Amino acid sequence: MDGERFLARVAAYRADGWRLSVINTTAVLPSDELPQGAFDISWSFALGTRLEHLRERVVPGEEVPSVSPSFPSAFLYENEMRELFGVDVTGIAVDLRGQLYRTATRVPFSPGAIRRRLEATGRLGDGARHAAKPQPRPTTEAGA
Amino acid sequence: MANPLSLPMSRRALRNLVARPATRRYPAEVRPRFPGARGQVVFDPSTCVFCNLCARRCPAAAIECSREERSFALDQMRCITCGVCVEVCNKHSLSMSPEPRPAHAVHDASVGGGRPRRQEWRLAERPAAGAGSGA
Amino acid sequence: MKRTIVPLGPQHPVLPEPLVLDLVLEDERVVDAVPTIGYIHRGLEAMVEKVEYTEMGFVAERICGICSFMHGMGFCASIEDIMGVEVPERARWLRLVWAELSRIQSHLLWLGLGSDAFGFENLFMHCWRMREEILDIFEATTGGRIIFSVNRIGGVKRDIADSELAGIAERLRALGERFAEIARVFRADPSIHHRLAGVGVLPAGEALAAGAVGPMARASGLATDTRLLGTHGYDRLDFEPVVEAGGDCLARVLVRLREVEQSIDLIRQLVDRMPKGDGQPIETRVRGLPDGETFMRLEQPRGEVVYYLKANGTKYLERFRARTPTFANIPAMISLVRGHDLADVPNIILTIDPCISCTER
């Protein structure tokens, strides 16, 4: 992604009095075109009743500039992107160094991690349409 | 220091001195249940045809039902009383009772005391209406 | 000066939920605060990988016990948006009745917690006593006090009879009278003013830069209210967003007081304007699988919530994200505690009405 051009557009939103509403990341699973998967990141800005989005697709390892120069409050979203998805965000205003969430798995929502989970449960791709429901836990009562 | 009687809360506080309590003397006095309350799912084995629809639609996977074994099991601790099974049951074998699940249902009945969390029915023959056997 | 770090939380008398703030103090003054969340991160968003979209609404409801109706409603509305489902008229109105009841319930809960935090336990008791009545209405109409399970994709599961709706409006009118007495205490009691006025002032410009939403932003003079979008049927109601200019802790209390009154009025309007007649359709049958994505905004008791849903034509959604109001308000809260005495920190934290379950999902 073109970092400078992107930051200029973000700064324009700030200058026009927009509020950062949400930064959302969606993991794109690895495929033939994207062997490592990707992230679809959208930055949403709100003004009055309007909501506008900037959308970028980045691949793992690609640097995403922080929008903190314009919106310092973005630090929570950006720390979340890094901890849950593994997006390489640079220049976060308040860098929590992986301390925001306490998760059992490292970067649980990265494309690779999601793909591994889906593979393990047989829900990947077309299988998703026919995937099994979660099975009840075994119970221990007498006679069960 | 303001005059305590002029404080806005004072009137209310004085009335509270003589007012009846807002609470009940539970468990001696139990509030009647609201008719539509979702307390627990009740199973009537006399009408069930073991079609398995409830088990497939249960979001919490709390129901196990088998046509071959003619068995039905409901895990009360997994059940989220959403009422989906009650809606999908064509035979009205499942109903929602406003009585809540007893708080002393236990995870492991072998520990003793309390009611088992899992209720099971295995029916070789169809029993008379209303007669079911718990686990 | 020597700096001390005092951890506030995860267990703290004023915190109903586990939030951790590492407060950097110089003497009694807070110079910095570093938040840690994640104590109740349950990974609910990741459950879209194994929970079908038709059942995900039950998961969305369980994001938080106070906002549960709105989460269920937001999720179902998002799916309806993707699939282009038209919700029956009656269901639309009923959803709004429950949504506004949720707001009253949530604000009464918060007013109680707030008074407990600034040491007015008597008031706490009275607020929660009124909240019980709202929960009774919920139990009678939905079957649950906290988790309602009445929303479903395409409509709602239960209807409320017209006679019952009139009864609800009447009960709320009576509740409003008793609430007025309690609201007068919040507005006039000198000890509350002494504790809250001028504490934690968030100017309008800062609130905007920090992305504050809901009562937090409205107490700073920003008239942001997602209900003004007119979606979900709010366009058929007459209301103005409740705005206070003060920006301090007291203003945030006043906004919520007035919003309780506003919601009681909105429910009266809903009951008056709702097309009469029992037995109207309350549900559209939904067939097929969702494909597409949507951003959906709703005004929860704590402020604007944004749902993002991405579906790929299978039973399983690709992404479900709820940006909850507290998540947006935490940056503002952190900037607020800087410069204040340690003793004021609990009040400042509480007046943003933090909902950590929502924040961490």
- pLDDT value for C105: 92
Residue with tokens 């909850």: C324
Q: Report yes or no: C24 at the A interface, CB cutoff 8 Å.
A: no
| Dihedral (CA of C188, C192, C197, C200) sign | negative
**Residue in chain A lying closest to C314 (CA):** A129
What are the distances in angstroms from CA A37 to CA A40, A61, C149, C316? 10, 11, 36, 19
The verdict on residue B14 lying in a domain is no
Segments forming the whole domain that contains residue A18:
3-129
Number of Cβ within 10 Å of residue C224's Cβ equals 24
Q: Are C290 and C313 in contact (CB under 8 A)?
A: yes
Inter-chain touch C185–B38, beta carbons under 8 Å: no
- Spell out the residues 6+ positions from residue C57 whose beta carbon is closer than 8 angstroms to its own: C72, C75, C76, C79, C151, C152, C153
- The answer to whether residue A78 sits within a structural domain is yes
Task: Kindly state whether residue B5 falls inside one of the protein's structural domains.
Answer: no
pLDDT tens-place string over residues C73-107: 999 998 888 888 888 888 888 999 999 999 999 99
Contact A140 B78 (CB under 8 A): no
> What is the model's pTM?
0.84
Any domain includes B68: yes
Q: What is the mean pLDDT of residues C322-326?
A: 88
For chain C, list the domains and their CATH numbers.
42-322+329-356 (1.10.645.10)
Q: Are residues A136 and B117, on separate chains, in Cβ contact within 8 Å? A: no
The position carrying tokens 């000066």 is C1
| Residue-level pLDDT at A108 | 79
> Residue B122 — very low, low, confident or very high, per pLDDT cuts 50/70/90?
low
Domain assignment present for residue A143? The answer is no
Structural domain total, chain B: 1
| B103 is a domain residue | yes
Q: Helix C249-273 to helix C162-188 angle, to the nearest 10 degrees?
A: 160
A61 is a domain residue = yes
Does residue B22 lie within any of the structural domains?
Answer: no
Instruction: Please report whether residue B16 resides in a domain.
Output: no
Q: Do A76 and C36 touch (CB under 8 A)?
A: no
Look at residue A135 and tell me if it is in a domain.
no
Quick one: closest CA in A to B135, which residue? Answer: A143
- Cβ of C252: how many Cβ atoms within 10 Å? 29
**Is residue C19 within 8 Å of residue C10, measured between CB atoms?**
yes
Residue A19 belongs to a domain: yes
Q: Is residue A46 domain-resident? A: yes
If one counts the domains in chain A, the total is 1
Sign of CA dihedral B30, B34, B35, B41: negative
Q: Which stretch, A104-108, B122-126, C17-21, C36-40, has highest mean pLDDT? A: C17-21
Q: Mean pLDDT over residues C53-82, rounded?
A: 88
Please answer yes or no on whether A103 and C41 come within 8 Å at the CB atom.
yes
- Residue B88 sits in a domain whose CATH number is 3.30.70.3270
Residue A102 tokens read as: 């306490």
C209–A contact, CB cutoff 8 A: yes
Cα-only R_g, chain A: 19
Structural domain span for residue B59: 34-122
Interface test with A, best of C208, C317, C359 (most A CBs within 10 A): C208
Q: Is residue A140 part of a domain?
A: no
